């Protein structure tokens, strides 16, 4: 049996739709037949509280520690789950925790609103990913997920083009600014969401041999 996929969501600051994306991606992967567990590595525990408020078809556990990379397989039964989704705290607030979650990642998803300010803040994220890769034998797949996009806005294509020019992978699928995502916390989450399901499918295409 192959080792579980570990999908880590990370960014420098909060408010980037990181937790929402982690939760929706986890549910979308369940909808695709994956056996998923969500790990909340953020000391604030937003994803874990969400799980306690709603009826989820997947388990969630807290593991907000800088030794996550050593403890994860004591918390996650690798014979039971084939996918682990990790929601991390903002890098600027808990660098050790994020670094640990990056060390075990098969893939890293960086949620990003399509603005120049957000792009300008990515430097520390790329450095953290590179530093984590130095502690392992293989590099994770890394992709930027554009979130809170506005239909027909030139900013989305401009930011996508800028990131691609910088050599970054940007998911073809993006997530628009919608009220259902802004107000999603605490409620049930569909496993076939029309925006996150394509992201999950694309993500699996990056990491599957």
Boundaries of every domain in the chain:
5-207
| Alpha carbons 36 and 49: distance in angstroms, whole number | 18
How many Cα atoms within 13 Å fall on the side-chain side of residue 105? Answer: 33
What residues are paired with 109 via a beta bridge? Answer: 9, 143
| Residue 125 scores a pLDDT above 80 | yes
| Alpha carbons 143 and 112: distance in angstroms, whole number | 10
Counting residues of the chain whose pLDDT is more than 90, the rounded percentage is: 88
Structure tokens given for 127: 């450095």
Q: What is the mean pLDDT of residues 64-73?
A: 97
**Quick one: pLDDT at residue 209?**
55
| Residue 86 scores a pLDDT above 70 | yes
Return the closest-CA partner of residue 88 out of 3, 168, 22, 6: 22
Q: Which residues of 144-172 are buried (b: 16+ CB within 10 A; e: fewer)?
A: bbbbbbeeeeeebeebbeebeeeebebbe
Q: From residue 92, give the alpha-carbon distance in Å to each of 53, 97, 124.
A: 28, 11, 9
How many Cα atoms within 13 Å fall on the side-chain side of residue 89? Answer: 19
| Residue 1 scores a pLDDT above 90 | no
| Alpha carbons 86 and 63: distance in angstroms, whole number | 9
Instruction: Enter the pTM of the model.
Output: 0.95
- Summarised one tens digit per residue, pLDDT across range 186-203 is 999 999 999 999 999 999
Please indicate whether residue 51 or residue 3 has the higher confidence score (pLDDT). Answer: 51
**Quick one: pLDDT at residue 22?**
98
Q: Where are the alpha helices (DSSP H) in 13-122?
A: 18-31, 46-53, 68-75, 95-103, 116-120
- Summarised one tens digit per residue, pLDDT across range 11-67 is 999 888 999 999 999 999 999 999 999 999 999 999 999 999 998 999 999 999 999
**Which CATH superfamily does the domain covering 5-207 fall into?**
P-loop containing nucleotide triphosphate hydrolases (3.40.50.300)
| Alpha carbons 95 and 127: distance in angstroms, whole number | 11
Please indicate whether residue 39 or residue 150 has the higher confidence score (pLDDT). Answer: 39
| Alpha carbons 73 and 142: distance in angstroms, whole number | 22
| Alpha carbons 159 and 206: distance in angstroms, whole number | 21
């Amino acid at each position: 049996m192959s080792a579980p996929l570990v999908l880590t969501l990370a960014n420098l600051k909060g408010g980037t739709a990181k937790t929402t994306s982690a939760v929706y991606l986890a549910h979308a992967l369940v909808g695709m037949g994956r056996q998923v567990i969500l790990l909340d590595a953020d000391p604030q525990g937003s994803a874990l509280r969400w799980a306690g408020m709603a009826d989820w078809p997947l388990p969630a556990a807290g593991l907000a520690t800088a030794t996550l990379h050593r403890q994860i397989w004591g918390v996650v039964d690798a014979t039971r789950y084939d996918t682990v989704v990790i929601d991390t705290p903002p890098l600027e607030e808990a660098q050790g925790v994020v670094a640990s979650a990056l060390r075990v990642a098969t893939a890293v998803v960086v949620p990003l609103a399509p603005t120049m300010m957000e792009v300008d803040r990515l430097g520390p994220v790329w450095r953290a990913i590179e530093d984590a890769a130095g502690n392992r034998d293989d590099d994770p797949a890394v992709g930027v997920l554009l979130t809170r996009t506005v239909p027909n806005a030139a900013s989305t294509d401009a930011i996508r083009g800028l990131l691609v020019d910088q050599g970054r992978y940007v998911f073809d699928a993006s997530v628009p600014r919608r009220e259902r995502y802004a107000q999603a916390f605490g409620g049930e989450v569909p496993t076939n969401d029309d925006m996150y399901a394509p992201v999950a499918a694309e993500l699996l295409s990056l990491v599957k041999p």
